[in-house]
Amino acid sequence: MDAKLSMAHFFVAFSALALGGLMGLLQTLVRSGKWELPWGIDYYQILTVHGVLMGLVLTTFFIMGFQYAAVSRTTGGHSNAARRTGWVGFWVMLVGTLMAATMVLLKEASVLYTFYAPLKAHWIFYLGLTFVVVGSWVDGSAQIMTYARWRKNNPGKPSPLLSFMAVINTVLWIVATLGVAATVLFQLLPWSLGLVDTVDVLVSRTLFWYFGHPLVYFWLLPAYMCWYAIIPKVIGGKIFSDSLARLSFILFLLFSIPVGFHHQLTEPGIDPAWKFLQVILTFMVIIPSLMTAFSLFATFERYGRSKGATGLFGWFKVLPWNDARFTVPFIGMASFIPAGAGGIINASNQMDQVVHNTIWVTGHFHLTAATSVVLTFFGISYWLVPHLTGRKLTKAMNKLGIIQAWVWFIGMVFMSGAMHIQGLLGGPRRSAFSTYGGSKQAAEWIPYQIAQAVGGTILFLGIILVIIIFVNLAFFAPKGEQEFPVAEAENSEEQAPMVFENWKLWLGITAALILFAYTIPFIDIIQNAPLGSKGFQTWGKW
């Protein structure tokens, strides 16, 4: 019963991957200057389709499906009430997705991935996004219900690690999406319906980025769940420290939300002191990332030593490189090293001035979300899909999975690398091909845009391969039992402190940090607001 709901999420997620990936390929081809879109299709239309499908639909549906399965696996299964709740959430999300997608395809919502005001979409687009958010709350509440039932039946015991992590991520998502729900319900929907003539752009953007940065961690934490609690089992090792894993997730909950101003460092109307404060809080998120890196490589080294590896990096050689369940997420894991370094640059006030709103940011985004996160999701699907469908990961699909990961990595080296370099040369993001009137500087960007098209083509080949693998594992692989690997802590006597399960404490600190970081600057923004802006449909129907 639980498997059907998880697979329903995955079917939507991989459908979004196929269509959104095609739109990404078309974007890179247009930006190369060597190809034009046919049939009156507009560049900013496909940009919106790509961003919404890949950044919101693929990720949200996959994460909810994975977390639903993880909670079921580690708590003994969901109740009938939780299953019904999960299905309600799924259908509400799906209806919202179809509503928003329809408006984009009709050229009524070419507002880019960030749907920034004063770009204006049809009200059905905003209502659809509201359904996606509300549906995800309902979907996530099913996981919380099962976790709460386990806690009630096992008083005084720490919850299973994967379930704890899933609930932390769901709570982070619910708290973060309050911002985007507020701007859509109270600003963008009335504005698009014609109930009000203007919108306060700075309020809208501030509420969006209250949501926009923790969104990245909503994507990332399920990958961390795999790295912490599943990869050790896959390689035959154990979790370095259960308590360290829980603490890192709590720190992500505390410090990933009150940091949105570092996306608005060049935005007028926000006091620099509050920007500085949120930059400091942004750098606090580096701490759990470094804790994770330490824990993972400690796990790898201890496993290697147990296999007789010697020397500083001898353990590296004995890892199971021929197992797609390990290799694919490991490539994503390694990619997070340069991706994280780029994030530090973006969040630094002085260095952000160099790269802000350049295609460097897009390159960084594709290293984090489209490499570290998505490759880990692919690695998860290679064992979770056959586990849910009662099939086996065959040697052929395992080998194809490893090939797919390296194809993806090579494509991203070309595309993301070229984006980073072009960004340092001043190339803008969110823009179609242009010579800017024969500008000498713009001419310097074109070779990098061609390199992006090469990388995008290779990446689309990777998407074709992963869709082939997904369809095979869902429908055609031989029947059998595929393990859902869940690792144990190295010190079996270690019991995580129960303070980690004190939700009143952690939610209270989270709320206090958010109120401290946003209350006064938000009051200033509203009190000193300029006249609102009318809506623009720059790339909509003519």
Which residues are CB-neighbours of 64 under 8 A, at least 6 positions away?
9, 89, 90, 93, 136, 139, 140
What's the first-to-final CA gap in the chain, in angstroms? Answer: 49
User: Is 83 marked active-site?
Assistant: no
Q: Which DSSP state fits 478?
A: P
Residue 518 a catalytic site member: no
430 assigned to active site = yes
Distance of CA 353 to the CA centre of its chain: 25
Which residue out of 83, 151, 262, 364 is catalytically annotated? 364
* Catalytic-labelled residue, pool 9, 73, 366, 387: 366
Amino acid letter, 255: F
Whose tokens are 């242009």? That residue is 434
Q: Are 254 and 217 in contact (CB under 8 A)?
A: no
366 flagged as catalytic: yes
Does residue 429 carry a catalytic annotation?
yes
- Please give the Cα distance from 336 to 355 (Å, whole number): 19
Contact 314, 304 (CB under 8 A): yes
Catalytic residue among 122, 213, 246, 263: 213
Q: Nearest Cα to 227, choosing from 316, 330, 125?
A: 330
Structural contact between residues 200 and 536, judged by C-beta atoms closer than 8 angstroms:
no
Among residues 217, 330, 377, 522, which one is catalytic?
Answer: 217
Distance of CA 214 to the CA centre of its chain: 9
User: Are 187 and 203 a contacting pair, CB within 8 Å?
Assistant: yes
Cβ–Cβ under 8 Å, residues 241 and 490: yes
Closest to 410 measured CA to CA, from 371, 449, 353, 441: 371
* Active-site hit among 294, 430, 433, 484: 430
Residue in the block written with tokens 């002191």 = 273
Catalytic residue, from 262, 263, 387, 429: name it. 429
Q: Tokens at residue 481, please? A: 């039992």
Catalytic-residue membership of 149? no
- The reply to whether 50 belongs to the active site is no
> Are the CB atoms for 278 and 262 separated by under 8 Å?
yes
Tokens of 478: 């031989």
What residues act catalytically? Answer: 213, 217, 364-366, 429-430
